Amino acid sequence: MEPGLLKSADWPILIDIYFFLGGIAGGAFVVATIAGFLDGQRYRDVVRTGYWVALFAILPCPVLLIIDLGLPSRFLNMLMVSKPSTAIGMSAVTAGPLHLKPYSPMSAGAWGLMVFSACAFVCAAETWLADRKGRASPRVRAIAGVIGAAAGFFLAAYPGVLLGATARPLFINAHWLGALFLAVGAATGSAAIALVLGRLRGSAADMALAPVMRVTSVALVMQIVALALFIVSVRSAGSAGVDAALSQLLTGSQSVPFWLGAVLLGTVLPLLLQFGVIGHRVSQLTALRAALVLAGGFLIKFVLIDAGQATVGGPG
């Protein structure tokens, strides 16, 4: 019998880029909101930078998703159709022409992306108005910040859950992809903020850099833990399809970008740099670390999706 009757969606790199940018946007927004609530004055640069990074990262996302569709003109069907039916899945919710399927991460993700984008716009606009026109609206920003932070975590994590809800052997047996993608989102989001803060001159920006990089380190630790749990949970499933996909990732064609790029350069090295340079003023190294974290975060998502989509092995 020929191996692997399963099929792959064959999502192109557009989707990897979307997952990457969505993670950055969600992570940066969460970091900005937390910093703003803890000390809005002291971390003013983090808040402003975080919200603007979130907005700029999320802007191309709908475009990437829409041009990937077989029929881009029907993109709105993700949210609404003229007559939604109740026979479209478990716990499907319909209201007028709108529908939400909680067990379809793509359906939930489309809504999450919309809610997040709205919050990112409101928060970025609020910081702009406060800075340029002196018209701060703390209550509006607080409400949009809390809703957007929840949506931001969701936006970073849901692609992992989405992959886990496919029949691909590498994904269906993994329960930690959502947690992993969330950690990558937080790491890359905070690294993106650090990268911008490093370019801003001024003592306030310098002062904010250290805690932002500490957030990156927390997220990187979570990233390593989730990655290890992912590999362990998949390996313990032990079917033919799983073994083939996992060996492609760990020892096969994806092993070099995975181990060298994603794990060593993208995760371990930035962590080592963090612990090795405490107390020194090394803004150049900060930029390097942030860039490594961003590249590593993209590589983790890219190699996992690639290994999971490759047509190898039998059913999972």
Partner 1 sequence: MARQVAMFTDVSLCIGCRACQVACKQWNQLEPEEPEWTGSYQNHAHFTENTYRLVRFIEEPADDKVEMRWHMMSDVCKHCTQAGCLEACPTGAIYRTDYGTVNINQDICNGCRYCISACPFGVVSFNHATGTATKCTFCNDRLHNGLGPACAKACPTQSITFGYRDELEVKAKQRVEELKKAGVSDAQLYGADQGGALGGLNAFFLLLGSPSKYGLPENPRLPQRNVFLDSLYSVGAAVAVGLGAVFAFRSRGEPDKARPTGERA
Q: Which position among 141, 294, 309, 312 is part of the footprint of partner 1 (CB under 8 A)?
A: 309
Range 172-201, binding partner 1 (CB under 8 A): 172, 175-183, 186, 190
Q: Which is nearer to partner 1, 109 or 145 (CB)?
A: 109
Least distance (Å) between residue 58 CB and partner 1: 18
Q: Which position among 59, 81, 265, 291 is part of the footprint of partner 1 (CB under 8 A)?
A: 81
Q: Which ranges in 103-176 belong to alpha helices (H)?
A: 105-128, 138-164, 169-172
Binding-residue pattern over the window 106 to 125 for partner 1, x denoting contact by CB under 8 A = xx-xx---------------
| Residue 194, amino acid | A
* CB-based contacts of 303, cutoff 8 Å, min separation 6: 249, 254, 257, 258, 261, 262
Tell me the CA distances in angstroms from 81 to 75, 77, 87, 102, 273, one per residue in order: 10, 5, 14, 17, 51
Q: How far apart (Å, rounded) are the C-alpha atoms in residues 187 and 221?
A: 9
Residues binding partner 1: what is the number (CB under 8 A)?
91
Q: How far apart (Å, rounded) are the C-alpha atoms in residues 160 and 227?
A: 12
Range 263-302, binding partner 1 (CB under 8 A): 278-279
Q: How far apart (Å, rounded) are the C-alpha atoms in residues 229 and 67?
A: 34
Q: In the block, which residue shows the tokens 């790491």?
A: 187
Binding-residue pattern over the window 4 to 43 for partner 1, x denoting contact by CB under 8 A = xxxxxxxx------------------xx--xx--xxxxxx
Least distance (Å) between residue 127 CB and partner 1: 17
DSSP letter (8 states) at residue 280? S
Residue 135 in the binding site for partner 1 (CB under 8 A): no
Q: Which position among 204, 269, 287, 295 is part of the footprint of partner 1 (CB under 8 A)?
A: 204
Q: Which is nearer to partner 1, 91 or 284 (CB)?
A: 91
Least distance (Å) between residue 67 CB and partner 1: 11
Q: Which is nearer to partner 1, 69 or 256 (CB)?
A: 69
